[in-house]
Amino acid sequence: MSVLVFIETEEGKIKKSAREAISYGAALGDVTALALGTVSQDELATAGENGASKVLHVSDERLNASLIQPYAEAIAAAANATGSEIIVTAKSSLADAVVGRVAIKLGASLVSNVVALPDTSNGFQVKRSIYTGKAFANVNLTTDKKVLAIKKNAIEVKTDGAAASVEALSVTLDDSLFGATITSTEKAEGDVLLPEADIVVSGGRGLKGPENWGVIEDLAKTLGAATGCSKPVSDMDWRPHHEHVGQTGVKVSPTLYVAVGISGAIQHLAGVNSSKYIVVINKDEEAPFFKAADYGIVGDAFEVLPKLNEALKAALA
């Protein structure tokens, strides 16, 4: 089975979620990866570690702007050129806008938020997350070509492959596809960014003020985690809005989510309930978040976090 995997890059590096998509594709068949814009050949060759046998590179600098229309055109053209039956990408804000257009161009079925490999025992059925992770749906795809957008952190990354060959791919992209102009871009800051994080440490109003956020940042640094916060915290400008986790903020699905001093309102839970494990630290034993937690600690965050951090440092040393 021929599989084309579109890999998103950022600042010249392949995103972790893209590597998950490659690993997913490798479990289905022979993977050709596709990269768009300016990326080094050495970086693209590392896609082989995740299961790609070959990487096609459309190096048109106009694609560096990540515009929707030319991306859809390039991906569809690559799918046709390779005769790929399945097109795979990681689900993202960019992919959400692109994959629908790709599916229309190819006459393909489309499923987003995919969380498991397809069941091909009787057709082609995929499992997807729905209702902000509260339920799953099994979807049958009946068209010859299929487009699958994989939910972040749902697939284990394969790392034992050899370097992939990298080949240039020429795609004709009309100037009319570049009609939109990005006037400015505001990027989230931090050593680890929320959308890509495998571990997230979040704080709520229980931290009492922005001056106390050091305990959150210290724990995050020890764990190699991203930092997040509840909506009230960002509304009060204790933390930047790009750290707001929840239904109206960033939705995350890390392996581990640590919630400190957060009560667990339904809007916050909607943004984190796809996490594999949830740890809640709160001095209020009646906090609703404990009902969703895999592990809970009833205690004062200013006493618990320093001790937890020291214990983790010793264990990880």
Known binding residues for FAD are: 205, 261-268, 282
Other Cβ atoms closer than 10 A to 104: 13
Q: Please work out, in degrees rounded to the nearest 5, the angle formed at the alpha carbon of residue 306 by the alpha carbons of 305 and 307.
A: 90
How far apart, in whole angstroms, are the C-alpha atoms of residue 218 and residue 213? Answer: 9
Instruction: Say if CB 60 and CB 35 are below 8 A apart.
Output: no
The answer to whether the CB of 250 falls within 8 A of the CB of 267 is: no
Give dist(CA 50, CA 31) in Å, integer. 10
Binding-site members are 205, 261-268, 282
CB 213 within 8 A of CB 205: no
For residue 299, count CB atoms less than 10 angstroms from its CB and return exposed for 0-12, middle for 13-18, buried for 19 or more: middle
Angle of helix 68-82 relative to helix 93-106, nearest 10 degrees?
A: 50
From 111, 152, 110, 113, select the one nearest 135 (Cα to Cα). 113
Helix (H, G, I), strand (E, B) or coil at 311: helix
Q: 3-state DSSP call for residue 23?
A: helix
The Cβ of residue 218 has, within 10 Å, a number of other Cβ atoms equal to 17
- Shortest CA distance to 35 belongs to which of 53, 14, 65? 14
DSSP 254: -
Residue whose token pair is 């068949």: 29
